[in-house]
Amino acid sequence: MADFNSHLTRRRLVQTGAVASALAASTCVRQQAFGQSTDTDPEMDEARLAARSTFANQLTLAVQINETGPYQFVVDTAAEQTVLADDVASRLGLRAGRMVIMRGLSHSVPAQTVNVKKLALGPFTHKDLNLPVLPKTLLGADGYLGLDIISNSRITFDFGKRNIRIERPRFSPQRIYSPRTARIQATGSAGRLRITDCRVDGVIAAAIIDSGAELSMGNIALRNALVARHGHRPDLGPVVLTGVTGGDITGRLMPINRIRMQDLIFSDCAVAIAEISLFESWSLSQKPALLVGMDFLRQFRAVSIDFRAQEIRFELATAPPNPKPVVEIVRA
């Protein structure tokens, strides 16, 4: 059995009662492709695909597999490997390949890979993919699109128009952006973009945009740094999270007064503190780090990630769907 050690740690909130109420008050509520090739119509630079929401508040778009579908895939900007639901693989009679190990939120599981001859997102196609298969009951969707598919593109989550736009980045003259748009520079390679100019209540931290996560999270190193700087931190109680490989992990919900990423500020918010494998796989276990999940991202009209330019754009909504977290742009 190959020790592939894929990281796909999607978080879904499963706790109810007092903790869920606290969360509502505060937020109002990886992996590589094998044998991938890509064909794209040179006349087509963009695909606009209608988006749907899963029960975990993620966004899905329609994907064609081997000329069949559509199938609804979650777009996951922090997972390196695209995965497929078991019922889709069975329905299509896909040829089985080698076994790999998928390391999830709390434990690792073996996963069978299957060969996909063609995966298409509008005019963008990827051929000859060997994708791990996980249970549909855990994925909550027909599959997850990871960085192996999207890391050479610009992807925009347009919450205002309820669509996802995938573009092939091209050089363009310098644009003048609206005062309601923040442009944040990131660093990284192979799609692993992180915002290093981030401060969480004054603590320097790395921030990752994680569209596959329902809930924003911080690691233990972030909590320890906040305690060292400010002393005791309030605790809003336990929050139980479950991953797509099964198993639960319990974190602690912690209020945050202010998160600043260059010109962008989140205030009056909360994050779940837990040590998940994604922090380790991104070499962030020992450094303060933050995963920005859908509870924060949905506050904007649109969020655009340009993997080639290593730039993330946040466009403020005229009326955010929830009162918290508060989001604003403050120019230096």
3-state SS, 194-251, equals EEEEEEECCEEEEEEECCCCCCCEECHHHHHHHHHHHCCCCCCCEEEEECCCCCEEEE
Rg (CA), the chain: 19
Predicted local distance difference test score (pLDDT) of residue 174:
59
- Overall pTM > 0.85: no
pLDDT per residue as tens, the chain (332 positions): 344 444 444 444 443 333 333 343 333 333 333 333 344 444 457 778 888 877 767 788 999 999 998 999 999 998 888 999 999 999 999 999 999 988 777 667 889 999 999 999 988 899 999 999 999 988 889 999 999 999 889 999 999 899 999 987 665 555 656 789 999 999 998 889 999 999 999 999 999 999 988 899 999 999 999 999 999 889 999 998 877 777 778 899 999 999 999 999 999 999 999 988 888 888 898 999 999 999 999 999 999 999 999 999 999 999 999 999 999 999 76
**pLDDT at residue number 123:** 84
Q: State the pLDDT at residue 230.
A: 94
Helix (H, G, I), strand (E, B) or coil at 182: strand
Q: Are residues 5 and 103 in contact, defined by beta-carbon separation less than 8 angstroms? A: yes
Res 252: pLDDT: 93
Q: What is the pLDDT of residue 179?
A: 85
